[in-house]
Amino acid sequence: MPRSSIAVCLTCVLVTSLTAQEPTEWPQHSLTRPKPVLVHPGPAGPPVPAPSDAIVLFDGSSLDAWQRDRPEGGAVPWRIVGSALEIVPGSGGIRTKRAFGDVQLHVEWRSPNPPAGNGQDRGNSGVYLMGHYEVQVLDSWENPVYADGQAAAIYGQYPPLVNASRPPGEWQSHDIIFRRPIFSADGRLAVPARMTVLHNGVLVQEDVLLLGPTSHMVREPYVAHEDALPIMLQEHGSAVQYRNIWVRPLATPSPSIPESP
Ligand code: MG
């Protein structure tokens, strides 16, 4: 076995052994799965300043980093309201022009107030890493839904550890540390994607191993893809607003094996 293959396999073992949240045995979208307990995160503050090495994706005015999420791209079909970017329901999602792999991503969002709709129809949007792996955006304030579909869930896979939602109309944040999946040369999964997420500064996903791309009512298997792909924001029929989005690309750690004595 080539040295690089040995290194990847050892990385798989290491990754698996270090997982804090175990993969679920609950059926997807189970209504009886325990709901995360409520944690009040404290009041919303001003926008969190971007670190000096961050790439600012949305600063309240410029949409230069974004395009329509269609094969041909095109102008962003959402609208600027004040210093926020508001989804136009029915217009489709948007994606970054630039592609990313491993990242630290900061996103601020808020649900429409007064709220409209119930369950998944109330303030639904989503942050898709690499266009495939969704961290849920939803109005989860007094809005019961299946646990793996509420705000800050890794949709259809992992409920958040707690429900740290603020009421509709208040700014909230997702801070996401994402490690992309690694595929071997023959297209097989070598290392699954993993994520840590803070919702309003509260830890809600701790180094979870993603089971594959996120999807509704079905667990999709991994399919080999590029090492870098755009970040996508979902349009799901609700006028959710975004502000202050920035990203720090992270170097992908090199797999290593111990030196022989
Ligand atoms: Mg969504």
**d(Cα 106, Cα 114) in Å, to the nearest integer?**
25
pLDDT of the residue at 22: 54
Write out the residues surrounding ion ligand 1, Cβ under 5 A: 124, 126, 234
* H-run or E-run covering 143: none
154: CA distance to ligand 1 center in Å?
10
The pTM (predicted TM-score) of the whole model is 0.89
Q: Which CATH number fits domain 37-249: 1.20.1260.10, 1.10.1200.10, 2.60.120.560, 3.60.20.10?
A: 2.60.120.560
pLDDT at 6: 37
Return the DSSP state at 144. -
Helix (H, G, I), strand (E, B) or coil at 73: coil
Task: Give the single-character DSSP code of 152.
Answer: T
What is the Cα–Cα distance from 114 to 95, expressed in whole angstroms? 27
Residue 65 CA to ligand 1 centre (angstroms)? 21
Residue appearing with tokens 């600063």: 59
Model pLDDT, residue 8: 42
CA of 125 to the centre of ligand 1 (A): 4
Per-residue tens of pLDDT for the chain, all 261 residues: 333 443 444 444 444 444 445 556 889 999 999 999 999 999 999 999 999 999 999 999 999 999 999 999 999 999 999 999 999 999 999 999 999 999 999 999 999 999 999 999 999 999 999 999 999 999 999 999 999 999 999 999 999 999 999 999 999 999 999 999 999 999 999 999 999 999 999 999 999 999 999 999 888 999 999 999 999 999 999 999 999 999 999 998 776 545 555
User: Which residues have C-beta within 8 Å of that of residue 28, sequence separation ≥ 6?
Assistant: 148, 156, 157, 217, 218, 219
Q: How far, in Å, is the centroid of ligand 1 from the Cα of 234?
A: 6
